[in-house]
Chains A and B, each alone.
Chain A
């Protein structure tokens, strides 16, 4: 593999370029008009403008991306996360051209991308899933019957959904009926799939996910868990590993279930199996993400592995570089997603970054922007991921506090003040938090 096209932008494009440089692989970056001044454009070996800022005219434009890949005779395409990373037809089109898609095969992507299908598959494999409707809800009667059988509150979800968009919490029948048609309509607009279903809403829940990896020979390993319970709008804000909440016994069961889930679908490359865990440590399969995850650096910090390198090795047909028993989790890592947003209302706050100084110290910062450029309203508001690693959780928290005390970012609002509040919060410090943490805490 000599040349890889990166079908993504910002920090993840920079992240992939780093590993490619280390491995002596040339990189092709693609960028929209809005991103022409971002670091990843100049970091790549070669860069191509692909179009105007809106994603439909740039990072989601399969035809243009495929044409560049062909013209440049690349060996592989790395989709990063978001955009086309979980688009089975894109993966298929790439493969048809004799180019390697760095990810699982299109069939796996398709099955796992449809939440109703993936729930069914997991149930068959003996993995517990969140109680819910196991088929598409077509009519009001079906929706009401499904919700009644699992009990309110329920979450109404788009089967083709993701990224926290299009989920509605329904406390009662009236809310469910009020939202059924609009949720279907929006699912169609947004995900081109109008199938919806309901799931039991677990109020005091932890979001625990497991990094898994598979190779072409059918070997599957896990690289431990990540606790991503601190969220706003069902989108992750802080992720850590090990989970400060799980007992060793429950953790082992969850890790093994994730490996079983991956084996059930013959999983290849990097993937994440997400679970919801209740207060009694009962765990339920939520979904599987068939790509490199935003929060993969947490796993890299505790294992010392380079997951992008693993992805490339596996994609070119090599075996997993390590066996399960050789993988060890060391110390404690926490990642903070620095967003361009108001730290209290979480409203997006795009604009020009005037001053940006990450400070000194050993905090890993995967950033997509630099001083002098603008965070535009066209994409995700994430400016950077800040990852601390300590010998234990207390040390990691201490390092994070030091990092945010010294971070200087002037020009736009960010959620850095929120992190300072979280790091000072007794419940966070003692590891006592659920997915509703940010909605009940109301820091200001």
Chain B
């Protein structure tokens, strides 16, 4: 399961670490886009396998941010 970015923007904050168990609808990161802080939520429950981005990174719409297993 992948969590992708809904908009182009800058990763302001990542709330989880590899190995964490996340719940459905949990806020896993905050994206800043067009001067708005947009929460990125998990669409499923799962364990964080990989975090593909770092705080401060610029991402495009559709970019994979986090992989759950």
Contact = CB atoms under 8 A, between A and B. Distances in A.
B30 to A, nearest CB: 8
B35 A377 contact: no
Interface string B30-41: 101111111000
A348 interface: yes
A347 B37 CA distance: 10
Interface string A154-175: 0000000001110000000000
A411 B8 CA distance: 19
Nearest to B55: A189
Contacts of B37: 165, 233
Contact of B7 (A53, A189, A377): A377
B35 A165 contact: yes
Contact of A190 (B7, B12, B33): B12
Interface in A373-407: 376-381
A42 interface: no
B34 A189 contact: no
A10 to B, nearest CB: 13
A235 interface: yes
Contact of A235 (B33, B35, B56): B35
Contacts of A350: 7, 34
Nearest to A233: B36
A263 interface: no
A186 interface: yes
Contacts of A54: 8, 58
A163 B35 contact: yes
Contacts of A381: 34-36
Given A56-B58, A377-B61, A348 B34 contact: yes
B33 to A, nearest CB: 6
Contacts of B56: 189
Chain A contact residues (Cβ within 8 angstroms of B): what range? 20 to 34
Contacts of B12: 186, 189-190
B58 A185 contact: no
A189 B55 CA distance: 7
B11 to A, nearest CB: 8
B35 A380 contact: yes
B2 interface: no
Interface in B1-27: 7-10, 12-13
Contacts of B13: 182, 185-186, 189
B54 to A, nearest CB: 9
A346 interface: yes
A53 B61 CA distance: 13
Contacts of A186: 12-13, 30, 55
Interface of B: 7-10, 12-13, 30, 32-38, 55-56, 58, 61
Given A54-B8, A189-B13, A377-B8, 16 more contacts: A54-B58, A163-B35, A165-B32, A165-B35, A186-B13, A189-B55, A189-B56, A190-B10, A190-B32, A347-B38, A348-B33, A350-B34, A376-B8, A377-B7, A377-B33, A378-B8
22 contacts: A54-B58, A56-B58, A185-B55, A186-B55, A189-B12, A189-B13, A189-B56, A190-B10, A190-B12, A190-B32, A233-B36, A235-B35, A341-B34, A346-B36, A347-B36, A348-B33, A348-B34, A350-B34, A376-B8, A377-B9, A377-B34, A377-B61
Top 4 A-B pairs, shortest CB-CB distance: A348-B34, A377-B8, A54-B58, A381-B34
